[in-house]
Chains A and B, each alone.
Chain A
Amino acid sequence: MSDNEPVIELRNVDKSFGPIDVLHEISLKVRAGEVLCLLGDNGAGKSTLIKTLAGVYQPTSGDIVMDGEKTTLKGPRDAQSRGIATVHQFGGTYPLMSIGRNFFMGMEPTKGIGPFKVFDRKKANRIAVEEVQKMGITRITNGDRLVGGLSGGERQSLAIARAVYFGARVLILDEPTAALGVKQAAHVLRIVNLAKRRGLAVIFITHQVMHAMAVGDHFAVLIRGAIAADFRKGEKTREEIADLMAGGESMADLEANIDTYMETHDGHPPQPVT
């Protein structure tokens, strides 16, 4: 926790797709050297939220603030060039392409003069292999190998290695441990901790309480597109967090939350998603 200013902040962000409102009035802050765990049931809007942070979607209203300044993320590459790197929930790798080409997708290193830019295969392969090996996948030694030949866990590690490499400021991981075995999941958690110690702001989405407890400094619970709870490490017990992650709390808590929501939102309750 190097300083107090959040690296990235959402202020009253709404996101709707045509008539479908997915996110309501989301306000969140992530500081350098801090892990924000985003919790919530399936369909709560977690992926939509991080896609907004990754530049894939533009907020319908509200602001994204980086280092205290309002920012428009024009697209994923714009976000990436500002040091925001994301591992999305699904896909992220291309099975019939080489490891080197996968790693640098959209951010290809080139060499050559003028308009005749050539994809720098050697450089891409070298960096990709180095970074993937740092993730503990020492089996990968040749960047020309097709990604289709890797296991699910190895592919996920490749996607994470890529984000760690490009994410200079903010690292966003959307359910990165879902497809992984116990050992590899532990490794991902170690990477999250490492990134945090290096001073990155990390946003981590998971469904596993143990994983959230292991790395989270700060927790936000999303219910039907609105922030229903926002608390710091130690403020709630494991059981309470587990309840929250199961999508709802005990009924009493839920009602209490709606009350607080209404207090902070001019008296209207969280709108149901159609």
Chain B
Amino acid sequence: MTDTTTTGGSGASPDPAPTSTSFSLGSLMRSPAAGAFMGFALVFVAFALFGYERNFLSISGVSTWVNFASSVGMIAIPVGFLMIAGELDISVGAVLPASSMTVAIASGYYELPIMVGILAALSVGALIGWVNGMIVTRTQVPSFIVTLATLFAVAGLTLSLSILFINTTQTSLNAPEWAKSLFGGRALGGFRSSVFWWLGMIGVFVYFLHYSPWGNWVFALGGDQESARNAGIPTRRLKIGLFMLCSTSTAFAGVLQTIQFNSATSQANFGMIFNTIIAVVVGGALLTGGFGTVMGIVFGALTLGVVQQGIGYTEIDRNLSFLIIGVMLLVAVLMNETFRKLATNWSTSKKK
């Protein structure tokens, strides 16, 4: 890559930006997800070396961290959409148990058909997202605070409603065989259904963010909300929709987990909040909004999976995983910030 150093003068600078849409390593390297991909590749190779003797590359090793990445990733991508749109959603930590308990209470305790339980759980998710979106768009309160409030409110509500309905805070669910294989089975030597659902969702999410006109609007929302409104983009409705998408995806992840493990608990999952944000940031999305890619977040989730779960299949001390994540996060934030500076700096328009 040549560097444009001076203003003007050089005239037309031949810049073979991604003109071919065909997938190739070259186009991947030039794409905005390249940073996240290289980060993943680096971590993967390092772990593969240290884990060569410890089955890191075996099916059970790989499926362990891919399974983990899938449940984080299907939440992280819509969390990433919100971050691109300039918002944050940390209520996912409470939506997860709320949806789990909903499907388990409805279809386990009350023995309603499993589809009824699933739809109820997804509706609970959609409703929480709608509440988040309404509060954020109707008030000037930052979404971090709004979703912090709903995180605790929903967590508390889940606990007390569980006690009210079934007099305990956890319960079991034995889904029928077809549902079990569709939502909570294993295939190809250990990959959970959630992996295949995730793959499908990635396809839809990539289309939404990068190919559909609405994707443009999401970036505009985080880039300059006032201008987006002036351009006629339905900023409020779009934002509410994104919050609903995020909570509903989270609820779906909760349903998959419940059917997979035959049980649900009302405990809030605070770890998931951190995991999704780490995946999004390591995936190259800007905390300040306006930039990010679906594939970047996918690689972010995979990287997190390797470091948190794959580490058990290597000779690396398990206790180091948090340290590695911390360092990774810092490096990612610095790289994202550098990218933003380069991209918004006149005369160095070339992004690495």
Q: Which residue numbers of A lie inside 8 Å of B, CB to CB?
A: 51, 54-56, 75-80, 86, 88, 90-97, 101, 104-106, 108, 110, 116-119, 138-139, 141-142, 144-146, 148-151
Contact = CB atoms under 8 A, between A and B. Distances in A.
A143 B27 CA distance: 17
Interface string B14-44: 0101110000000000000000000000000
19 contacts: A78-B232, A86-B230, A88-B227, A90-B226, A91-B226, A91-B227, A94-B223, A95-B343, A95-B344, A105-B227, A106-B217, A108-B216, A116-B207, A119-B213, A141-B13, A144-B15, A144-B19, A145-B17, A146-B351
Contacts of A141: 12-13, 15
A78 B349 CA distance: 34
B176 interface: no
B232 A149 contact: no
B149 interface: no
Contact of B227 (A75, A93, A148, A151): A93
Contact of B18 (A79, A144, A151): A144
Contacts of A79: 232
B228 interface: yes
Contact of B231 (A96, A105, A116): A105
B167 interface: no
Chain B interface residue number, banded? 35 or more
Contact of A150 (B219, B229, B346): B346
Contacts of A92: 224, 227, 230
A68 to B, nearest CB: 25
Contacts of A138: 11-12
A139 B10 CA distance: 8
Given A96-B343, A110-B213, A51 B230 contact: yes
A78 B232 CA distance: 8
Given A118-B211, A150-B346, A142 B230 contact: no
A248 to B, nearest CB: 30
A146 B342 CA distance: 10
B212 interface: yes
Given A91-B227, A146-B351, A117 B213 contact: yes
Q: Which of A90, A95, A116 has the most CB of B within 10 A?
A: A95
A149 B7 contact: no
Q: Looking at chain B's contact residues, is the secondary structure mostly helix, strand, loop, or mixed?
A: loop
Contacts of B190: none
Nearest to B21: A121
B345 A118 contact: no
A90 B344 CA distance: 17
Contacts of B207: 116, 118
Contacts of A77: 231-232
B349 A149 contact: yes
B184 interface: no
B219 A148 contact: no
B64 to A, nearest CB: 35
Nearest to B219: A97
Contacts of B290: 94-97
Contacts of A88: 227, 230
Nearest to A124: B216
Given A86-B230, A97-B220, A148 B343 contact: yes
B286 interface: yes
A118 B206 CA distance: 11
Q: What 8 pairs across the A-B complex have the smallest Cβ distances?
A: A149-B349, A76-B232, A94-B223, A77-B232, A148-B344, A108-B213, A91-B227, A106-B231
B215 interface: yes
A94 B231 CA distance: 12
Given A96-B286, A97-B220, A101-B219, A145 B211 contact: no
B47 interface: no
Given A96-B344, A97-B223, A110-B213, 17 more contacts: A56-B229, A76-B231, A76-B232, A90-B227, A91-B227, A94-B223, A97-B216, A101-B219, A105-B217, A106-B217, A108-B213, A118-B212, A119-B216, A139-B8, A148-B343, A149-B345, A149-B350
A76 B226 CA distance: 12
Given A138-B11, A149-B346, A96 B232 contact: no
Contacts of B7: 151
Contact of B224 (A56, A91, A149): A91
A149 B15 CA distance: 13
A151 B7 CA distance: 9
Interface in B190-227: 207, 211-213, 215-217, 219-220, 223-224, 226-227
Contacts of A56: 229-230
B110 to A, nearest CB: 36
Contacts of A101: 216, 219
B58 interface: no
Nearest to B19: A144
A159 to B, nearest CB: 9
Q: Which of A77, A86, A88, A149 has the most CB of B within 10 A?
A: A149
A181 to B, nearest CB: 13
